[in-house]
Amino acid sequence: MAVSTNFWIWIAALLTLAIYSFLYKDNPFYKFAEYLLVGISIGYGISVYWHNTIITKVFNPLVYDKNFLVLIPLILGLLMFSRFFKNVAYLSRIPIAFVVGAGTGLSVPSSFEFLFKQIYATMPLKLDIGSLIIVVGVISTLVYFFFSLEHKGFVGEVSKAGITFIMVAFGAAFGYTIMARVSLFIGRIQFLLSDWLGIIK
Amino acid sequence: MLKKILLLIFLVFSVSLFSQGNDSIIFLENQNPFLDFKLTGSDIPNDGGGGIQINWCFPDSLGNWFLTVLRRDDSNNIMVVATDLLVSSMQVRDVSSDEEPSRVKDNSNYYYTGILSKNMISEEFLNRLISNGSGYSKNGVYIFGNDTFYVTGETDPIVSKSSWFNLSRIPVLVSLIIIAFVFLYYLNLAKSGKDLYIRKINGLDAVEEAVGRSTEMGKPIMYILGIGYVTDIPTIAGLTILGRVAKKVADYETRILVPSYDPVVMTTAQEVVKEAFTEAGRPDLYNKNDIMYITQDQFGYAAGVDGMMMREKPGAVFLQGLFFAESLILAETGHSIGAIQISGTTETAQLPFFVAACDYTLIGEEMMAASVYLQKEPMMLGSIAAEDLLKVFIMFLIITGFVLSVLGYGLKIEVLKNVFDWLIKLLQV
Amino acid sequence: MLKGKGIPIFITFLVGMIMIISFFIPHKPFGDIEKISLNWYSIIAGFTMLLGVDSLIGMHFRKVKRKDENWFFSLVLIFGFVATVVVGIVETVRFGTAFDDKSYFTYIYNYFIVPLQATMFSLLAFFIASAAYRAFRARNFDATLLLITAIIVMLGRVPLGEQISPYLPKFTEWIMQVPQMAAKRGIGLGISLGALGVSIRIILGIERSYLS
Amino acid sequence: MNIFLKLLKVDRRFIYIFIAIVVILPLLLKPKFPVVPSKPVKDVYDYIENLPEGSNVMISIDYDAASMPEQQPFLEALLRQLFRNKLKPILIVQWQLGAPLGTMGLEKIAKEMGAVYGVDYINLGYRPGYVAQIVGIGKEIRDYFKVDYRNVPLDSFPMMKNVHNYNDIALLVGLEAGATYLVWIEYAGGRFKQKIALALNAVSAPDAYYFYQSGQIVGLVGGMKGAAEYEVLVGKPDIAVAGMASQSYSHLVIILFIILGNIAYFIEKRTKSKEGGK
């Protein structure tokens, strides 16, 4: 294999190198790649949005299905533009209120489901030392999150145990993830060395 | 029974001899050796309608056979529900979906029939059977080509219904009501003027210091809300903290930069900062352009924010909201420019990286309680106390479960074992 | 009256309550509310995106006009944006959809966006190393424990660990399944309670800074 | 100043260079690196070794470019083994974006091993609708694959003359980045008793271990590590072994830096407390 003659591969390779140059320091190559990525991705986003939202979710339902319900989000969306006019700018709070209401409202039952699942998973379905450690770990971690009690005396001791569990968990999760991150770099190097330069087969 | 089967085999054999090369269907009534094999159907409970489940029991010998399910409605339209199901799968659902929104209509009668076969069903046979109109449903044995198919009797009419209440969610409703009362109790307590305590949260006391030091150095503050939407609770929590931080920023008469991932988050952040500046009596310092949109692309956003950090060199960086893989890209860059970093998220997978790269990290619930801590308003403190009471309840539940399991399963006390099983069932929502 | 916070807070309350109630009622129209509201969010966000584009492109346009520092790169950004949108429109006309296999729009995605994203992502291989080096210091008992666990798990994940001891990978799995899981559950329980708290504070109008 | 104290303030770029070197060098030099095959991987290898000459092995490409570092090395090692044992690969694709990757690997190894298209191996390409297809192959492969990936009729290839359904396929090997394998196990395995071996991405391998334990699959190759083990079994350590070397060395480098950093930290602490004593 030899160096690629494909124009597009060259572009991808040079952009890859431009991003890596950031590891040395901020420089014009990185700036170029950064600004380009932001510009292109937002252009891409707008196109995807046109296709997925305006056409599929607004235009088609309105024109073909005569579904006038979509007029509500349409109006709410347009109210966002009231910000451009000083005397009606307060109207943009309405869509924000709507969206926040929906988000918090939906989160209440889903928090419950999550809560139930977590408690269920903590129940010792088989009796071994692991189950006991899990019960102790979950409870002491929960104690760490007590806000309305001062963490001293017995509560303080338990919450200290909770912090220990949390630290072990963080160390483990950190060490566990390194492999996946190195894999990403290996993938990029393979692209550079094989697709672009043709050094490795 | 044996006689019947022998007779049947003989019949099948002789008929198949005659039918060589002749693709007509031969029907043998009342020769079905699988008369016990029946389909039963019922409305799928707790759904919004448009769904029927069909079940069957089977003798072991049929485990590897295939079952094709047909459906007839009152106007004799026949539809194939599913072909070639493994008999051992025991259930199939006939449901409306986004692709076929009116496949199953509520409140109309449907009749289901099954076709058992040793081999996969031939499409031609199926088509002919259906084109035969309502006659298809006769219970009996059909021979087509080299294959034999056993057609079961039709089920009674089955009607799909839409439920008004999801019974499986009663435990959630009950706990919701209890929790609502706990919250209301504490909110009332707070209103009546009882002093409520909140423990120190590391990191939040550093907000003042971070903003102050940044101002001294003549550097701006950067507040990163992550890649969540306004519908995500961590983002909302991040916005509430932003309000408090922005007020301090206004007090110190410095700048706050908020690069955003989602346009709705950006507009909301603009509102929050503007109001905080107004409250602090410095609306003149508010600059809409400091709260800017970057892009709705995870790594495009990371690249843009990294670049902005390198060029604006903020003295303090806040990372509060929903973060995924970009967490460490942002936090390491923030550290490399020497900024004080205060982070917080609910993504447990990202917390280790924040803890490693930032000066202070708000872990999970600490971040949600942060706006309360920074404001210390009685009503808000009341809600925190309510959360704590629920924690006690959860601990109690977990310990009870553990004890029951030890006594019930470890020491084999039957009653407690049953209580434990019941508890487990209750938790499976 | 519209100018005050009263109406927005009422809207939040109403919408929030409807969402909660609909969780228990599968019957139409409540059953579909979650789906519909997410759909609506994407429509509202879609329109707001124009505000975002206005914010971003406007800022860089001003930079180019004032010949600020880095104005050339702002030009690159605007060019990238305009070119992508134009290609999108042209290819939609050409193929019926811009997402066709042979469309240049797809090329832009495959040869600009994908490698840039993948490379940004892979920077983590370096950042995770420098963060580990800097942060993992045996300052106190907990920090030491964090450090030791991290090293054990690091070794247990690669073939090297198996050569040190065949128990190392097994021990790593145990750490992930037991103590790691315990803390994760504890944090998770706290988060769901915290989320409940935030939601209730907002729905009841106690927390209103988002509307400020 | 003590050398360790200098280390405490080491430039981050110093670490970056080390990481880059230990990842790139093994990929370039492909050193011998001890990788010990685990049982699930060896089971796949042994099963294929024991297949009679001339058996057909179906390979399903169910991954795309994102999983290439994990899956491509296994594909190549597997194909080497198949061609060496005169077994006949039939390549099909369930993930459209994976089609060029499958073709690339197949052509590369076929050329290397001198295999002839249509006689020793065949590439059927991608067809939409994987569930129907996986069930359909139980009846007749031509219902879905009348032609190969270049639209040449199947019956014009000598090796496909007697291939009709799963009965004519000795083993199915699924290279999986997602959950398509569940369909293979449920339908091809459950209904048609097709023997299946799987190669999964590292993240999903633990989920599939259950199927290995219950005997529903003959073996399991997990992630780049599994691929490296397979390369060792086939006797041609290649890119995955090099990748494992990169992984191991980079972990080692990070650990070394952590240890050095701590030594420096303790020396600094001691110097400080001494100074404080004065």
Q: Residue B332: which of C23, C127, C197 has the nearest Cβ?
A: C127
Distance from CA of D97 to the nearest CA of C (A): 11
Contact (CB<8Å) B398/A122: yes
Reported confidence tier of residue B19, pLDDT bands at 50, 70, 90: very low
Provide the residue type at C142 as one letter.
D
Q: Residue D24: which of A178, A180, A189 has the nearest Cβ?
A: A189
Q: Strand B109-117 vs strand B158-159: parallel, antiparallel, or unpaired?
A: antiparallel
Q: Say yes or no to pLDDT of B10 above 60.
A: no
Distance from CA of C180 to the nearest CA of A (A): 4
D34 vs A20 pLDDT, higher one: A20
User: Does residue D7 sit at the A interface (CB-CB below 8 Å)?
Assistant: no
Residue D218 neighbours by CB under 8 Å, 6+ apart: D43, D44, D47, D171, D195, D196, D197
Candidates A143, A145, A168; CA nearest to A158 is: A143
Q: Strand B51-56 vs strand B39-43: parallel, antiparallel, or unpaired?
A: antiparallel
Alpha helices in B102-224 (DSSP H): 123-131, 170-191, 206-216
Average pLDDT over residues D37-57: 95
Contact (CB<8Å) A186/D243: yes
Q: Each residue of C133-164: pLDDT tens digit?
A: 999 999 999 999 999 999 999 999 888 888 88
Q: Each residue of C47-80: pLDDT tens digit?
A: 888 889 999 999 999 999 999 989 999 999 999 9
Buried b (16+ CB within 10 A) or exposed e, A132-145: ebbbbbbbbbbbbb
Tell me how far apart the alpha carbons of residues D101 and D68 are, in angstroms, rounded to a whole number. 8
Q: Which chain B residues are within 8 Å of D258, Cβ to Cβ?
A: none
Contact (CB<8Å) C134/D250: no
Distance of CA C177 to the CA centre of its chain: 26
B38 vs B215 pLDDT, higher one: B215
Candidates A175, C31, A62; CA nearest to D255 is: A175
pLDDT of residue A1: 56
Q: Say yes or no to pLDDT of D78 above 60.
A: yes
pLDDT of residue A201: 66
Q: Say yes or no to pLDDT of A41 above 80.
A: yes
Going along B292-422, which residue ranges are E strands? 316-322, 340-345, 360-363
Distance from CA of C162 to the nearest CA of A (A): 15
Q: Say yes or no to pLDDT of B411 above 90.
A: no
User: Does residue C196 sit at the B interface (CB-CB below 8 Å)?
Assistant: yes
User: Does residue A193 sit at the D interface (CB-CB below 8 Å)?
Assistant: yes
Candidates C196, B347, B185, C193; CA nearest to A142 is: C193
Q: What percent of chain B has pLDDT over 90?
A: 49
Alpha helices in B192-219 (DSSP H): 206-216
Distance from CA of D114 to the nearest CA of C (A): 33
Residue C175 neighbours by CB under 8 Å, 6+ apart: A168, A172, C149, C152, C153
Q: Each residue of C175-189: pLDDT tens digit?
A: 998 999 999 999 999
Yes or no: say if C1 and A94 are a contact pair by the CB < 8 Å rule. no
Distance from CA of B81 to the nearest CA of C (A): 24
User: Does residue C157 sit at the D interface (CB-CB below 8 Å)?
Assistant: yes
Yes or no: say if C120 and B332 are a contact pair by the CB < 8 Å rule. no
Q: Residue B299: which of C24, C120, C212 has the nearest Cβ?
A: C120
Q: Which helix (H) or strand (E) holds B53?
A: strand B51-56
Q: Which chain C residues are within 8 Å of B303, Cβ to Cβ?
A: 116, 120
Contact (CB<8Å) C120/A181: no
Q: Which chains lie within 8 Å of chain D at 3 or more CB pairs, if any?
A: A, B, C
DSSP state of D156: G
Provide the residue type at B277 as one letter.
F
Question: Which chain B residues have any C-beta within 8 angstroms of a chain D C-beta?
Answer: 84, 86, 120, 336
Contacting D residues, span 192-251, partner chain C, CB-CB under 8 Å: 225, 228, 244, 247-248, 250-251
| Highest-confidence segment of A21-25, B104-108, D179-183 | A21-25
Reported confidence tier of residue B365, pLDDT bands at 50, 70, 90: very high
Contact (CB<8Å) C203/A182: no
pTM beyond 0.90: the answer is: no
Q: Each residue of C7-46: pLDDT tens digit?
A: 999 999 999 999 999 999 988 888 888 888 888 888 888 8
Q: What percent of chain D has pLDDT over 90?
A: 58
Q: Which helix (H) or strand (E) holds A95?
A: helix A93-122
Contact (CB<8Å) B348/C184: yes
Tokens of C44: 């509202």
Radius of gyration for the alpha carbons in chain D, expressed in angstroms and rounded: 24
Q: Say yes or no to pLDDT of B167 above 90.
A: no
Reported confidence tier of residue B347, pLDDT bands at 50, 70, 90: very high
Mean pLDDT of chain B: 88
Yes or no: say if C17 and C33 are a contact pair by the CB < 8 Å rule. no
Distance from CA of D164 to the nearest CA of B (A): 15
Q: Say yes or no to pLDDT of B17 above 60.
A: no
pLDDT of residue D278: 45
